[in-house]
Amino acid sequence: IRTYKDHPAFAGISFFDEPGLDCFEGIAAAKAVFERVCPDKVFYVNMLPHHISAKQFQYGACQINVPESTDEKLSLNYENTERYLYFTEKFIKTVQPQIYSYDSYPFLTLGNVESMIHTALYELPQICNYNERTYGVPYWMFMQIGGKWEGSANRVTTESEMRLQISVALAFGAKGIQLFPC
């Protein structure tokens, strides 16, 4: 990183995409090293949304050949909002990120979640807004603007849907909007 840290195009690194709780201490250690070398750059981690399994909360998005989750607070005995608040607070307290970023796309169907509209547009931004007010960590969100991924034919969003995503994100205090064009 020292080789590139002073280049005008170097703004930081994207360190991890969709980690689980078990990764947080390692991410915090890597962030501490990065901040010593690049104190004025962004150490970026993109987080999971909240409509996921206990295994994903604990081990991350890529949980191949992993045991069942051992953290009781991630079990289905709790509502998704409670599980996600626990997850986000644990990340914020352990890693102390500059920003909290997540991706969740409202205009598609994934697994057992028939409609993502309410979850992606309203529930997640409220949790992130709460965390910003409580812990001072601003949030960024990804906006769905593309079509095909994950073996399905998710439709390309309309201009009105894109405007809705932007408006809701800004209304709930998002400080960054990232584009997922596929």
Separation between Cα atoms, residue 137 and residue 123, nearest integer Å: 17
Q: Model pTM?
A: 0.89
Per the prediction, the chain carries an average pLDDT of 88
pLDDT above 70 as % of the chain? 89
Q: What is the pLDDT of residue 154?
A: 66
Give the confidence band of 43 by pLDDT, cuts at 50, 70, 90.
Answer: very high
Q: What are 28-37's pLDDT values in tens digits?
A: 999 999 999 9
- Burial class (CB within 10 angstroms; exposed 0-12, middle 13-18, buried 19+) of 115: exposed
Residue 153 has pLDDT above 70, yes or no: no
> Mean pLDDT throughout 80-97?
95
Task: Tell me which residue of 145, 140, 141, 178 sits closest to 159, measured CA to CA.
Answer: 145
- Lowest model confidence (mean pLDDT) among 105-109, 111-115, 116-120, 138-142: 111-115
